[in-house]
Structures are given as C-alpha cells and as structure tokens.
Structure 1
Amino acid sequence: MLSNPAWAALSGPQACFAEASGDAARFRSDVSPFAALADPADPAAWRDLATLTSTALLTGPSLSPGPGWETASATPGVQMVGRAMTGVRDPEAVILTEADVPEILDLVERAQPGPFRKRTVELGRYLGIRVDGRLVAMAGERFRLPGWTEVSAVCTDPDFEGKGLGARLTLAVAAGILERGELPFLHAAADNERAIRLYERLGFESSHDVVFAAFRYTH
C-alpha cells in the first residue's frame, strides 16, 4: 500500500476526489496533479489512464511508461514513515480553510514545497503559523490511505526560515494523525538532505526510495 500511496488513496479513503477509469485514476485537476495505476507494470492500466488525461504525475518505487506514453521528467525521492514517533500539538498553529487559499497559494509560490492546487486544502487538515497576521509557514495532509496519512506541503516563507516553524508544524500535523489511530508518512526529494535530516530528528525513518515522474501520452 505504501509503495503505491496515490492509488491506495484514490481507490480508498479519497475516492470522492477521483476520476477513474478501469485500473487508473487521478485526482480532479483542481485538487492535485497526481494520478495512479493499480499496477504500473500493467500496459492495460496505462491505456485506462490515457482515457482520463494526456499528462500525468505518478509516484512509486519504480516507474516506466506504458505503451504510447513517454517520460517527461523524473525526480528521485525517498518515502519516510513515523512508526514510532510522537506528535506534538502547537498552540500557535491555526487550522487553514478554503478562506485561506489565496494566502496559501501565495506562500506556496514563495516557498515552493511542491504541487499544490486551489482545492488541495480539502484533502485533509492543514495548519499554519501567522506572524503579525501574515501566513509564514504551513503543513498538512495529502494522501490518506487505510491506516496512514501523508504529511505534505511543509513549507516556510524564506524570510522566516531557521526558526523551527516547519518542524513544529510537521509534529503538529503528525499529532492529529496519531490521535486518529493512524500513522504518518511523508516524501522528500532524495537530494534534500537538510529536510531528510530534519525528519529523522522528528522521528521519521526511511522506508524506501521512490521517484516522482511526469508522463506524457504521445499516441
């Protein structure tokens, strides 16, 4: 399940956000750019995906394009799990809602945490920290699978880096996940050694290598 988290989410707890065809599914475009296949090694699943979209972002341990598809880009990453960690609630963290989306998207533009769309905030609980009314850091929940929830969009305004805000919000989001009886996991770019060291200090441990790959349908 953790080796194919987007499929586990789209075919399970987050099916309400899915557009599906056979053994392929994707999040609605205003929610997330991610798509998924029940079995990325199955050519039929790739044909199903072509009925949904001509471009797709997938993640998994190993991904090769199916017939008619080509790889547009690929970024190595690592998946980390928090099997034995302890979350910590943060009294300064506020719950972010649809009303905060303009500010969230502005922060995403400045901090570049990865793909984020105008309805991504609906996928789970997002928390932020404000300084003088300005949203300067956030983190939240993206993929939800049976028993697991992904911590995602951890980011801090460049003017406020180095103050531990990302760590605080990661622990606060994890606390909410753990209180539901689930376990947190997350992804990081393989070359983001600073983030990986931080997550290790917070109690996450490496699960396996992944790739984030964009594919394009050519015929």
Structure 2
Amino acid sequence: MTDFSVLDDPAWHALTTHHAVLGQRNGAAARYRTELSPIGGLARYDAGAFAELRPLVASDEAVGLVSAQQVEVPADWELLQAVPVFQMVCEAPPALPELMPVPLTASDAAEALELATATEPGPFRAGTLGMGRYFGLRAADGRLMAMTGERMRLGQLTEVSAVCTWPEFRGRGLAKVLVAHVSALIAAEGRVPFLHVKTENAAAIALYEKLGFVVRRELTFTVVRPG
C-alpha cells in the first residue's frame, strides 16, 4: 500500500532516498544540485535546520521548500513568497494517448528552458531535464509547443511537473496528452503519479481531475534566500 504521508514533505523524502544522488545534504537540510533545481527540503522546520541549509545555498540564490507544515522563516533568512498549492494524486491514471509525445534530451534544454521561463510552470532550470523523463509535442515546423515531465521521486511516487504550453498553441489539448502520457508511464511501473498546482489555477485543476487526479491536501511552496 502506498505511503502518502511522505508527500507532506516531498523534497526532503526524495532527496534522502531515490534522488539523494541528485542533491546535497547537510544534516537536517537537503537540496537539489543548483543546475537541476532550486528546490530543497528540511527534516524539520526550525532555526537549526535552516542553519544547516545555509551552506547549501549561495548568498544570492533562492531556494523553494514544499511543505504541509507552516514554515517560520528565521530572522537571518528573507521570505520571498509563500504560494498555496494543491497536491494531487492519481491512483487510476488514463491509458496512453494515441498521440505520442517525443522524448526531450539534453540537446533540447535551451528550448525547454525558454518555454518554461515564458510560461512559469514552476521552478525549472536547464538541467531540470536530467531529473526524470521529459516529453514534448512539436509543431510541423519543429517548434516545441508544449512539454511535461517527471521531477521528484520518492517511495512509490513520482511527480509530474513542468506542464506548460506556449500561449499560441493552447486550446488544442496538448497538456492533456502530455500529462496523460507521463502519468501512464509512471503507473505502468507500479508507481503513483502526483503533482502540484496553484490553488488559484482552476483550469489546470479541472484538467487534472478529468485525468483522474484528486486533491490530497493543500501545501505551501515557500521561497526563501539567505538574509
């Protein structure tokens, strides 16, 4: 039976298990390598854990923490934003769609970063493609119209992430195809897909619900940097 409790602090559990090789850890603090993602996690949310996070974060860098627990930011850290997000899980993903996306590789990193920067699906860096399997859909002229992939991996769970489409290609069902494709691949491995979406993004939430995702609980994505 899937242990969903680890999703209350997904980054911490990913970085101390399946994704330990992709990150750095110092005591009660861990984070993904800078080139991969600015996301980190803490074993507990107190001054001591933040002190152990400090050596892992450059003085001009911000780090994002995803947690069900209320984060009290110490005085020597600056709170940049605290965004409420729904965490959704899908225990019965749809079948693979007929339209098959193409895998994205390191050679697609610049194009993927351009798309993510323009549409802001969440933290994304050029190296993020190395965190899991990423897929895209291309126009007839070869342009990357939309993409989606895998990010955090922990327990029997894999996160669906970076769901984004250029504005001029929206309304074609591209995100539905991509999320269905990635979710089906995850389920085929005997794992459960999950994702995070801003609580205000009603359109995305409705799409995910159509694909079988349900809200597990509300979390907060807290962005901080050293003071």
TM-score, scaled to structure 2? 0.91
Cross-structure match for 1:22: 27
Matches within 5 A, 1:67-82: 68-82=76-90
Tell me how far 1:43 sits from its aligned partner.
Answer: 2.7
Contact 2:93–2:180 under 8 Å retained in 1: no
Contact 1:87–1:178 under 8 Å retained in 2: no
Contact 1:110–1:158 under 8 Å retained in 2: no
1:135 aligns with 2:134: no
Tell me, what secondary structure is at the counterpart of 1:20?
strand
Write the distance in 2 (CA, Å) between the matches of 1:43 and 1:178: 39
Runs of 4 or more, structure 1, over 4 Å off, are none
Tell me how far 1:14 sits from its aligned partner.
Answer: 0.8
Which letter does structure 2 place at the counterpart of 1:10?
Answer: L
Tell me how far 1:144 sits from its aligned partner.
Answer: 0.5
- CA gap of 1:91–1:163, structure 2 versus 1, over 3 A, is closer
Tell me how far 1:92 sits from its aligned partner.
Answer: 2.9
Write the distance in 1 (CA, Å) between the matches of 2:202 and 2:8: 22
Write the distance in 2 (CA, Å) between the matches of 1:27 and 1:45: 16
Q: How well do the aligned residues superpose, as a CA RMSD in angstroms?
A: 1.4
Tell me how far 1:67 sits from its aligned partner.
Answer: 5.5
From 44, 61, 64, the equivalent of 1:57 is 64
Tell me, what secondary structure is at the counterpart of 1:2?
helix
- CA gap of 1:72–1:110, structure 2 versus 1, over 3 A, is closer
1:47 aligns with 2:44: no
Write the distance in 1 (CA, Å) between the matches of 2:42 and 2:103: 32
The count of residues paired between Structure 1 and Structure 2 equals 217
Tell me, what secondary structure is at the counterpart of 1:46?
helix
5+ long unaligned stretches in structure 2:
1-5
Q: Kindly, what percent of the aligned residue pairs are identical?
A: 42
Deviation readout 1:182-216 (Å, 9 max, x if unpaired): 00000001111111111111100000101111113
Deviation readout 1:56-89 (Å, 9 max, x if unpaired): 2111123221453232211111100002333424
- CA gap of 1:51–1:110, structure 2 versus 1, over 3 A, is closer
Which letter does structure 2 place at the counterpart of 1:5?
Answer: P
Tell me, what secondary structure is at the counterpart of 2:164?
strand
Which letter does structure 1 place at the counterpart of 2:63?
Answer: A
From 66, 76, 92, the equivalent of 1:84 is 92
Write the distance in 1 (CA, Å) between the matches of 2:55 and 2:157: 29
Deviation readout 1:154-193 (Å, 9 max, x if unpaired): 1111111011000110000001101111000000011111
TM-score, scaled to structure 1? 0.94
Tell me how far 1:4 sits from its aligned partner.
Answer: 0.5
- CA gap of 1:6–1:79, structure 2 versus 1, over 3 A, is same
